[in-house]
Amino acid sequence: MVRILLTLTLLACSAQPAPPAAATHTERADTKPPPADLAAMATKFGLDMSGDFVWTKIDKDATRFDWSGHPANRDDVEVLWSFWMEKMGATETKFLPSLATVAAADLIQNPSVTPQVFEQPDDIVHVFGYDRVVTACFPPFEGYGKGKKHGVMHAIVKNGSLSVVAIFSNDRTGVVPIPRDIGARGHVATP
């Protein structure tokens, strides 16, 4: 069932299925923790950041994002994180797809292009520890994508907080918000 949902989600961003990634994804046992200030901010938003990523703090005023990163074993993917709204209200919750559309539109080269926006299926969202995810697919603006052909943005809700992650790649990495591809997963409290 999850495999079918993953395939349908990939197809939502493209008429053709994504080609296989050039690099393989591996989980490492020697993972270092993420930077302390990134981990602290993510925790406020209900997320656990990956130590398998190389992280760089960036200027939010210049980029609208707080952190840039990429998997340690892949430099062909760029991930940008913004911790956007610590507590969403009823209005933001209701209009989350519209918020995602507007946020993604700021990352598009051609203003006449409308991002493809859709809700991720609950089965996928909950597997990765999130409460809700709205995804937008788009051709990225050169300033953000740095030569990448595909852009994906997820508006991730966890415990009423809204984080935004944008993924730029040439192989549609990140269409499904898999933690190893986006650098975070929803925090699961231990009893």
How many C-beta atoms lie closer than 10 Å to residue 54's C-beta? 16
Domain count of the chain? Answer: 1
Average pLDDT of the residues in 27-38: 74
Going by their DSSP bridges, the two strands 184-186 and 150-158 should be labelled as unpaired
Instruction: Provide the 3-class DSSP secondary structure of residue 90.
Output: helix
29 falls within a domain: no
21 falls within a domain: no
- Report residue 93: phi and psi, to 5°: -65, -45
Q: What is the CA radius of gyration of the chain?
A: 15
51 dihedral zone (left: phi>0; alpha: psi -120 to 50; beta): alpha
Looking at residue 118, its pLDDT comes to 96
Indicate if the pLDDT at residue 11 is higher than 80. no
pLDDT in tens, 160-186: 999 999 999 988 888 899 998 999 999
pLDDT in tens, 107-164: 998 889 999 999 999 999 999 999 999 999 999 987 777 788 899 999 999 999 999 9
190 falls within a domain: no
Looking at residue 25, its pLDDT comes to 36
Q: Name the percent of the chain lying above pLDDT 70.
A: 82
Task: Look up the CATH number of the domain holding residue 143.
Answer: 3.40.1000
On average, the pLDDT of the chain sits at: 83
22 falls within a domain: no
18 falls within a domain: no
Going by their DSSP bridges, the two strands 116-119 and 132-138 should be labelled as antiparallel
CA distance 167 to 144: 10
25 falls within a domain: no
Instruction: Provide the 3-class DSSP secondary structure of residue 162.
Output: strand
189 falls within a domain: no
Under the banding of pLDDT at 50, 70 and 90, the label for residue 191 is: very low
Instruction: Provide the 3-class DSSP secondary structure of residue 145.
Output: helix
CA distance 17 to 162: 29
Host domain of residue 76: 2-13+34-183
134 falls within a domain: yes
Which tops the pLDDT comparison, 150 or 1?
A: 150
Which tops the pLDDT comparison, 21 or 131?
A: 131
Give the dihedral sign, CA 66/31/179/95: negative
172 dihedral zone (left: phi>0; alpha: psi -120 to 50; beta): left
